Amino acid sequence: MKTFLKNNITYIKLFLVALFFGSTFVAGRIMAANLPPFTSAFLRFLLASFFLILFVFKKYGKFPRINFPQFLLIIALGLTGAAGYSFFLFSGLKYITASRASIIISLNPSVITLLSILILKEKFTKYKFAGIILSLTGALIVISQGNLRVILQGKIGQGELFILGCVVCWSSFTVLGKIIMRDLKPIIAITYACLVGILILILPVYQEGVLQNIFQYSIEVWLSVFALGFLGTALAFTWFYEGVDKIGPSRAGIFINFVPIFATLMAILILHEKLSPSLIIGAVFVISGVYLTNYQAKNIKIEKPKEINVRA
């Protein structure tokens, strides 16, 4: 048993990463029902930053100095990946189920690929094209709950629009991250982004005025903060990039396909959400699209990228 765990510890960690990422939608749904969006985001990244700082000092001993262009990029990362993404996530989860939100957010890899092609001039292959089309089709099925005429009539719900805002923010965060992570270790860049996110969130959190009752929060809310801040952010990102380093981004990235599956299963078991036919069909399309978007033909030699697209 010990030999098995030792030889497969990286794969076990990556499996848990997908589980932790999936849990963020359930925890986010609980927090959205009890706290305003900025307060939820602030608590998540406050806890995440505490543990990320510990991880960075344990592994590297210190934080590297950054120049002014890097500083501007980190501010952009904090705005998009921390403050913006979380605001849209918690706002959207007030209106739609965790399972639906997780499937819509699974559009991220396809949107990131599209932005990378347009902005970073990455190669556009037939697999990426097919993956983007499949993912988009699946997301539209989920958003419209199987009635695509809703999309044509412009009757998209408020919750769905907020979650689409998550996709825009996280895709922007990842593309910007590809630039800064050429010079900074991923975990260091993410820690800086979380710290900037906290600073950005201080004023709106103060205006929400909820933190004064912080010691009156229920155990359910605090468990959700822990799931989001420690498991779904600090630990998940640390283990994911360890996996990327040890087995490569392509194999590590396969585990991200399990995120919407875990999110949906936990939403059904914990939140008692119902599994609709449109959700199942949409999930199949989206997950197939994500696989194709990240697929590389065996006869094509691809240069190893520095980081891979993920979502939280």
Band (296; pLDDT cuts 50, 70, 90): low
| pLDDT at residue number 306 | 45
Please state whether the predicted TM-score (pTM) of the whole model is above 0.75: yes
What CA–CA distance (Å, rounded) separates 185 from 183? 7
- Tell me which residue of 97, 103, 102, 160 sits closest to 281, measured CA to CA: 103
- Tell me which residue of 143, 141, 137, 142 sits closest to 160, measured CA to CA: 143
| pLDDT at residue number 300 | 38
Question: 130-157: per-residue pLDDT in tens?
Answer: 888 888 888 888 888 777 776 666 667 8
| pLDDT at residue number 270 | 93
Looking at per-residue pLDDT, the higher value among 9 and 291 belongs to: 9
Q: Mean of the pLDDT values across residues 286-305?
A: 62
Q: Mean of the pLDDT values across residues 25-40?
A: 94
Band (275; pLDDT cuts 50, 70, 90): confident
Question: 9-28: per-residue pLDDT in tens?
Answer: 988 999 999 999 999 999 99
